[in-house]
Structure 1
């Protein structure tokens, strides 16, 4: 008996802690949750497809430009030597020039999408974009024509986004200690987050990859078993590689997210991670992505069109011009459609920002000093990053090339960091977390109803000329189905969130 007790008290091979700050690491739940992945994938796919059906073809910003460039990618005509290229006629047949800048004009003025695949000269401003997104989503342009080809491209884009975003959500949820914060994390993804997922736009890949990277790496804020930690670094590196190769500004968002996480992790945890082989693999994947990005940037600069030099007005003037659009940026973060021609209503936008501020305030209240400093610096860096990006491209344009949606690959992972800080604060805040989960899910539902109705009103009935009831009579059936699909997803998630918060309030077991 004595010998057995002695062996239990002094094991021959003690388990190595996953982190020096927390010797008792929790048991591993795996890198991701298949059930959460499946639920999130179906929800994301239905929601983004709904918004896609609701929006007229070519009705998303610069959609024809990306489709024309995508055709060049899938037919092997890159790198381009000119902005003028040969592309099928149907890619411009439904151009929305007649309505995109006039709120009193509906999309019915656009000519119908033809099936004429005759090649003619067209212009595209995406000549320097990395080709990865287009190679993954624009293959239908090789086999189909007309509206069928354009709808197929949108579906491929929605599938790509949904796969990446759902993996990020499932990895994030599996790494959190409590269920309530998982629901908060899902509903801080505002309707605007999905606006460009179901269209021909490389932000589909960019935002999805950013969420996948964040979902893998943010849970490393808390100690995890060595095997799971290693898998998260490797999976996060793969997502970072996709993020870097998504758009010309991809590397900047990957670097910004790494700096944010380094500050949130703290010095001791960073020192622990950088000594591991998995972190070395993560850095190698990021380096590979940066090298590919640099190579493509060099090639496209050599063979692409020579940029027109313009006068640089300076950082101060640029800052004032960006601040002048701040009110719209607030709307665009919550919900927007078309060429900024429809947004969520002011009450919904303000209420949503109040709840988002409450999430940040809760993280500030319960987080440690390093968490507060990192979150503050991250929010400060958003306008600075806008100025930086504009400075880098001022040789190509005479206006600030910045919109609120450009910050989504960093802004929403930043909100997720706040949610993770709340979940790992060491104190169960069931009442507060439950209230935040209910508030975010309720506002997500209200914002979804608001933006979908206003999109149908703007695109098909005339938001400034027709009464609201005309939405039901003037909106085409496929658009009504799209609006109903998005609202159904938001309503279903609202019901599930409220039921789950009640169960969590009645149970003391913080399980997922």
Structure 2
């Protein structure tokens, strides 16, 4: 037997420990997903903040003055006690002068270069008027902060961007929640339809209307997710907190915010059996968030009563009777629906006509499909919000028509319209999503056309303020004869916007085309929704 010539390893070498490799911290998939959603939404809101001329968004001068005043500790202004009279506050002069920048309002052929601009050096305290002078100060505390650091136009843009980041945070919480359902694809589809160009446009403004929309939506979707997991609440601790924080912020946003909060909560609770609600009272975090909501709602109600917020609404008295106003607003139901999609500026900058037709097809198909669900309970939330969408404008307008005339705008109802469309998607989540190649092609085309529609609205708004909107097409003037340019230029902004919409569309398609095996949470039985 031959002895091996291979040398024996040294014993010390056998016991010598291998060098340790540095541990790599991997970001959890849910955290990464939320971060990506927030980043994309922040880019959308920031691009809209830059693309819209200063004070081109409805009531933005009033909200800008209010935000600057609240940031300086003036939560209320002084008034002559007459209905609709603007309240006076003391703000830097460049803030008080923002009302003079609206020379293009209501004039589609007047470009934004008519604006005199703002002098950043004029920071001396000056009285300024605002119709939002006695609104709840919570939103304005955040939006007004940049005016304490910056001055002139940079301060206004920074206020817009910060407001957009705040709104994007709650909107991301809503979109993220749609990806957490057991069968997430129908809710994701509904979210893609519900986030219209108008929603993103308002997020890039100084206006609490956007915060109303996103917080109401976040409350509704996250509460529905909590209720779906009511037998295992440990899986949705984050969503319970989102419901509490979103509701607390919503309750202190605008005069009608408490109504939107009540509708969102009722619509969500109706989708589950009453016996399941008893399981919520056994959870300490649920009770803590419920207490937070109760305190916040009480504070919001107290502010409404003590500050007389509704007294600052602007309008002209009318001889129209409440009954006539109710009937008129009921007939205008589909007319005001344009504001849900893309009615920008001072109601003078509509998106391309094809965009409205496209969203009419999307929303109509989604709503008809939702109401056709066999099980009755999943439909209840959608039905309640749909009825509110039809009836609230006539009812509220009838209450004030004699004193203020017709003041209702479609964007006021977006805090109900967006949750309504989301409720339609949630009603379908017990039904299988088609996985055929043909269905995936339909999804790809639908997402692509929706991304194109978003970009078309963005580019059309830039054309309106850059060269004006006339009866003849004048897109060629955008490449050499623009009278007004946004920061960074209209073409770079449009290209970036197109890129962001393409990225968002790609990620949305991945969510819809993923096989059921790749979905983290198992599909629950339809009986759990009844």
TM superposition score category, shorter chain reference: 0.7 to 0.9
Q: Does 1:316 align with 2:323?
A: yes
Change (3 A) 1:359 1:324: closer
C-alpha distance in 2, partners of 1:50/1:307? Answer: 30
Change (3 A) 1:453 1:48: same
RCO comparison, higher one (Cα < 8 Å, 6+): 1
Aligned pairs (5 A) from 1:7-156: 33-82=30-79, 83-91=87-95, 92-93=97-98, 95-115=100-120, 116-156=122-162
Once the two structures are superposed, residues 304-329 of structure 1 have per-residue CA deviations (whole angstroms, 9 ceiling, x without a partner) of: 87999956844322223324544442
- DSSP 3-state at the match of 1:123: strand
Tell me the TM-score normalised to structure 1 length.
Answer: 0.84
Q: Does structure 1 conserve the Cα–Cα contact (< 8 Å) formed by 2:55 and 2:102? A: no
Change (3 A) 1:182 1:347: same
Which has more radius of gyration?
A: 2
- DSSP 3-state at the match of 2:90: strand
Which of 400, 405, 409 aligns to 2:411? It is 405
Let me know the Cα RMSD of the aligned residues.
3.0
Aligned pairs (5 A) from 1:202-221: 202-221=208-227
Aligned to 1:493: 504
Q: CA deviation at 1:389?
A: 3.5
Q: Does 1:164 align with 2:161?
A: no
Change (3 A) 1:126 1:314: same
Aligned to 1:345: 352
Give the length in aligned residue pairs: 478
Q: Does structure 2 conserve the Cα–Cα contact (< 8 Å) formed by 1:161 and 1:204? A: yes
- DSSP 3-state at the match of 1:170: helix
Aligned pairs (5 A) from 1:366-377: 366=373, 368-377=375-384
Which one is further off, 325-334 or 125-134?
A: 325-334
Tell me the TM-score normalised to structure 2 length.
Answer: 0.82
Q: Does structure 1 conserve the Cα–Cα contact (< 8 Å) formed by 2:326 and 2:394? A: yes
Once the two structures are superposed, residues 439-496 of structure 1 have per-residue CA deviations (whole angstroms, 9 ceiling, x without a partner) of: 6523421221221121111111111166111123315243433333322211222233
Aligned to 2:491: 480
* Structure 2 gap ranges (5+): 1-27, 80-86, 522-530
C-alpha distance in 2, partners of 1:303/1:42? Answer: 36
C-alpha distance in 2, partners of 1:429/1:378? Answer: 27
Once the two structures are superposed, residues 311-354 of structure 1 have per-residue CA deviations (whole angstroms, 9 ceiling, x without a partner) of: 68443222233245444422221223211111222222112121
C-alpha distance in 2, partners of 1:157/1:443? Answer: 29
Change (3 A) 1:88 1:466: farther
C-alpha distance in 2, partners of 1:265/1:321? Answer: 36
Once the two structures are superposed, residues 178-224 of structure 1 have per-residue CA deviations (whole angstroms, 9 ceiling, x without a partner) of: 45643552343111111111111112322222232233212235335
Which one is further off, 35-44 or 353-362?
A: 353-362
Aligned to 2:259: 252
Change (3 A) 1:365 1:65: same
- DSSP 3-state at the match of 2:100: coil
C-alpha distance in 1, partners of 2:216/2:165? Answer: 16
